[in-house]
Amino acid sequence: MRTALALSALLSITGVDTAQASNLVKNGSFENTNIEGKGRFEGNVDGWSGGGNLTYIAAPGTADDGEGEMSLYGPFPRTSPDGGKFVIADGDGPYRDAIWQTIAGLTIGAVYELNFFQAAGQWAGRPYAADTTERWQVSFGDETRQSDSYNLPFTGVGAWQLQKMRFTATSTSQVLAFLADGTPSGAPPMSLLDGVSLSAVPEPSTWAMMVGGLAAVGGAMRARRRNRRAAALV
């Protein structure tokens, strides 16, 4: 009860809108899809466009199941840290295609933090043995970033890892896009993706208000305790 009152008072004092921290990405966990096991991404994942060529949506445990036209060398983790379905995309130039969605309701000049999980693998049906590299090329509006790169030996598996990026909005509506990027050509380097989220980063003035509000709430609670002790002594 005391914690709830303190939080309520803090929000009242600072005027912080908790909606600022909400995820602006639709279906960032890729759970809303009509694919049950593993299948083509294009046209089958709610909220996302693109994903042609060798881009797939996969259910937990299917990345290295040895079935269908897309299976990776394993053993591969059953799920990402986000859990549930995830994306598998070929990063070889002739076979890759971006997945994207339009993010609306942005504030021009505001900073937004993008978080996602990535992993890497190699297609078990590849025509020849080779080491590979895998990463994601991420675009938001006119800005483009590269995720950390994997360097995998033949039949290697790249563990899931969290990626964080920050972008500054130049429009109230911008396209967020992911493009698998790997080498060498002919030896399918596969990039995996899950748990995509994008949220506004509070401005320094907002943080200052939050710190000041927290101090005020703490002071009020300490004063209340002192008054209670003084009353008990009367």
- Percentage above 70 pLDDT, the chain: 78
CA distance 60 to 85: 6
Residue 4 placed within a domain: no
Do 35 and 136 fall within a single domain?
Answer: yes
Q: What is the CATH number of the domain that holds 99?
A: 2.60.120.260
> Angle at CA 18, nearest 5°, toward 16 and 23?
140
Give pLDDT, residue 100: 98
**Is there a single domain that holds both residue 57 and residue 131?**
yes
Is residue 152 domain-shared with residue 43, that is, in the same domain? yes
DSSP label at residue 53: S
Domain of residue 229 covers 203-234
Q: For 127-132, what is the mean pLDDT?
A: 87
Residue 32 shares a structural domain with residue 128: yes
* Residue 121 contacts residue 54 (beta carbons within 8 Å): no
Predicted pLDDT at 221: 55
Does 233 score more than 80 pLDDT? no
Residues 228 and 141 placed together within one structural domain of the fold: no
- Same-domain status, 192 and 232: no
What is the rounded distance in angstroms from the CA atom of residue 47 to the CA atom of residue 30? 9
| Structural domain includes residue 27 | yes
Give the DSSP letter of residue 186.
Answer: T
Question: Could you tell me the pLDDT band of residue 222, with boundaries at 50, 70 and 90?
Answer: low
Residue 114 has pLDDT above 70, yes or no: yes
The residue that leads in pLDDT, 172 or 203, is 172
Local confidence band at 226 (pLDDT 50, 70, 90 cut-offs): low
Res. 5: pLDDT tops 70:
no
Minimum mean pLDDT among 42-51, 59-68, 82-91, 162-171: which range?
A: 59-68
Q: What is the pTM of this model?
A: 0.81
Q: What is the mean pLDDT of residues 190-201?
A: 98
- What pLDDT is recorded for position 227? 56
Q: Of the candidates 151, 163, 215, which has an alpha carbon nearest to the alpha carbon of residue 10? A: 215
Q: Are residues 111 and 125 in the same domain?
A: yes
44 belongs to a structural domain: yes
116 and 175 share one domain: yes
Q: What is the mean pLDDT of residues 57-75?
A: 93
Domain count of the chain? 2
Q: Residues 193, 207: one domain?
A: no
